[in-house]
Amino acid sequence: MKFQYITDRLILQVLDEMAAPLVLQFYQTNKDAFDQWEPKRPDTFYTTRYQRSVLQAEKKLFFSSSSVRYYLFEKTSPDKIIGSICFYQILNSPYCSCNLGYKIDASHQHKGYALEALKTLIPEVFHTLRLYRIQADIMPTNSASIRLITRLGFTQEGLMRGSYEICGTRTDHIRYALLADDHPNQTTSNLF
């Protein structure tokens, strides 16, 4: 995987610890919007020091091909993070799979940014990391995320009861998956 990809409107970039203030600003600005979909965060989460340590860990995971997080920037505003996309729990053979997570700044939602970024990144993940399966677990009430993932060709596989703790409560999630050969035309860069 590359450190950076460019799409029509976006810069998708792996960040290092020097970007901790930008990441912190992204999370602080979107705290209310993200909290409903996230586990409880420790108080230290909203500090530059915490975000710096996360970015250091993410860099190590990137180099070990265990996880990769891309931060999204508009080309016209490259100093403000508007989202992130993470491929995590990357498992090699025999599993050849990973999980997918994403979030978009509240003021930038419903503009197609996540779709645009994922259309670039998904073929790269399948090809470069030699994966066969990408999974996304989504709360049944998150209709925007369900719409996005189905537009990308993911198939609903079933309900995972009590699978995640969100806001201090165990919640059900729906598992969606995209296989490399489910939609072969959709997993090649030139057709995506």
Residue 150 is assigned to a structural domain of this protein: no
pLDDT of 188 above 50: no
Binned at pLDDT 50, 70 and 90, residue 38 comes out as confident
Report the amino acid identity of residue 97. S
Domain count, the chain: 1
Give the max Cα distance, the chain: 45
The range of the structural domain enclosing residue 102 comes to 4-135
Span 69-113, pLDDT tens digits: 999 999 999 999 999 999 999 999 999 999 999 999 999 999 999
Residue 140 is assigned to a structural domain of this protein: no
Residue 178 is assigned to a structural domain of this protein: no
Span 104-147, pLDDT tens digits: 999 999 999 999 999 999 999 999 999 999 999 999 999 999 99
Q: What is the pTM of this model?
A: 0.90
Mean pLDDT of the chain, nearest integer: 91
| pLDDT given at position 30 | 92
Q: Is 181 exposed, middle or buried (0-12, 13-18, 19+ CB in 10 A)?
A: exposed
Residue 151 is assigned to a structural domain of this protein: no
Question: Pairing state of beta strands 169-179 and 133-138?
Answer: antiparallel
Long-range residue pairs from 171-174, CB within 8 A, at least 24 positions apart, any chain? 171/139, 172/139, 172/140, 173/137, 173/138, 173/139, 173/140, 174/137, 174/138, 174/139, 174/140, 174/146
Tell me the C-alpha distance between 102 and 114, whole Å: 8
Residue 148 is assigned to a structural domain of this protein: no
Span 148-183, pLDDT tens digits: 999 999 999 999 887 777 777 788 899 999 999 875
In this structure, how many other beta carbons lie within 10 angstroms of the beta carbon of residue 128? 12
Q: Helix crossing, 113-128 with 143-151: angle to 10°? A: 50
The domain that contains 16 carries what CATH number? 3.40.630.30
Residue 70 is assigned to a structural domain of this protein: yes
Residue 68 is assigned to a structural domain of this protein: yes
Residue 53 is assigned to a structural domain of this protein: yes
Tell me the C-alpha distance between 145 and 139, whole Å: 9
| pLDDT given at position 185 | 52
